[in-house]
Amino acid sequence: MAIAAHLVFARMKVYRDLEYVGKRKRIATLSSIAGVALLGAAFFLASTTGPNGVLIAYIPLLAGTIIFHLGMQQVGKWNRAQRNDVILDSLLKDLGERYSLIHYAKAGKRTIEHALVYPGGVLAIVARELPGKVAHRDGRWKKVGQGLSRLFGMGGAFLGNPGSDAEADVEALRALLGEERLEADVDAVIAFINPRVELDVEEPEYPVVNAEGLKSYIASLPAESPLQPAERQRLVEILTREGAFEAPVAVSTRRPVKRRAA
């Protein structure tokens, strides 16, 4: 005869600036609406005025095209249910209680979108959600094999320069910790979290992983000078003192363990 008991394992804590998320959602929506309005104004000018009006219409047409596509990129990033921060929560949820994941922390004038406080320091996670093939050569990032989809997908997921973003995050975090006179290792990782991405990367500025490899990369991080719990908590407090962060919840996991009856 056996009875089932349970062991409880604490998971990492997640901190998220909900005010920042709401603000970015509003900006994304307003930008796309402004783009549509400018495009509408361009077509109105072109159809209701003479030749001079057609020339003038090119101004709102160009501006509207740019603003609309930028707005749609932001809508795709912020107004979907599975935002990058939510995906990272799911990918890293089984990390232990010594880990804290902070979304949209302020470091000086820069917003660090994703920062992980771990036993050895703080890790900036630069996340990209685009699918398809992504290459890195000679310090340059690019999408590969898009063809006409480059034109029609201008409002899709944004690649930009993840290496430059990682460097800016690291510099901002180091400056912040320097101001606080807190010594901790600061580094970054570039994570492509869309399961349909294909990476062809040579000599990147920072480590590059896919969704499947992110957790194992974090688990491999050295902790030669591990931070004490009080120091990790201070790091969290510094990174969450600006903004409207939701109360963190340490989710627990229950695993059944069989025991023999006496």
Q: Are 11 and 215 in contact (CB under 8 A)?
A: no
User: Rounded distance, CA 227 to CA 16, Å?
Assistant: 23
- Boundary-marking domain end, from 64, 80, 96: 80
Indicate whether 12 and 28 sit together in one domain: no
pLDDT of residue 146: 59
Indicate whether 52 and 120 sit together in one domain: no
- Let me know the angle formed at the C-alpha of 236 by 87 and 185, rounded to the nearest 5 degrees: 90
Indicate whether 221 and 101 sit together in one domain: yes
128 CB neighbour count, 10 Å cutoff: 20
Indicate whether 100 and 23 sit together in one domain: no
Q: Based on the structure, what is the number of domains in the chain?
A: 2
Write out pLDDT tens, residues 16-46: 999 999 998 898 889 889 888 888 887 877 7
Indicate whether 37 and 114 sit together in one domain: no
Taking the model in full, what pTM does it have? Answer: 0.83
Write out pLDDT tens, residues 39-76: 888 787 777 776 666 778 778 888 888 888 888 888 88
Indicate whether 162 and 71 sit together in one domain: no
Indicate whether 233 and 117 sit together in one domain: yes
Indicate whether 22 and 10 sit together in one domain: no
Q: What range does the domain containing 186 cover?
A: 1-17+86-262
Binned at pLDDT 50, 70 and 90, residue 144 comes out as confident
Indicate whether 28 and 46 sit together in one domain: yes
Indicate whether 8 and 75 sit together in one domain: no
Q: Are 215 and 92 in contact (CB under 8 A)?
A: yes
34, 38, 43, 48: CA torsion to nearest 10: 120
* 13-16 and 185-192 beta bridge pairing: unpaired
* 2-10 and 197-201 beta bridge pairing: unpaired
Which residue is it, tokens 């290792």? Answer: 185
The CA-atom distances, in angstroms, between 22 and each of 15, 160, 244, 255 are 15, 23, 11, 36
Indicate whether 44 and 141 sit together in one domain: no
pLDDT of residue 249: 62
Which residue is it, tokens 């094999």? Answer: 145
Report the DSSP beta bridge partners of residue 2: 260
Indicate whether 49 and 119 sit together in one domain: no
Write out pLDDT tens, residues 68-118: 888 888 888 888 878 999 999 999 998 988 999 999 999 999 999 999 999
User: Rounded distance, CA 192 to CA 204, Å?
Assistant: 13
Question: Is the predicted pLDDT of residue 250 greater than 70, yes or no?
Answer: no
Which residue is it, tokens 């101004």? Answer: 59
Name which of 29-43, 147-161, 183-197 the model is least confident about.
Answer: 147-161
- Boundary-marking domain end, from 80, 98, 118: 80
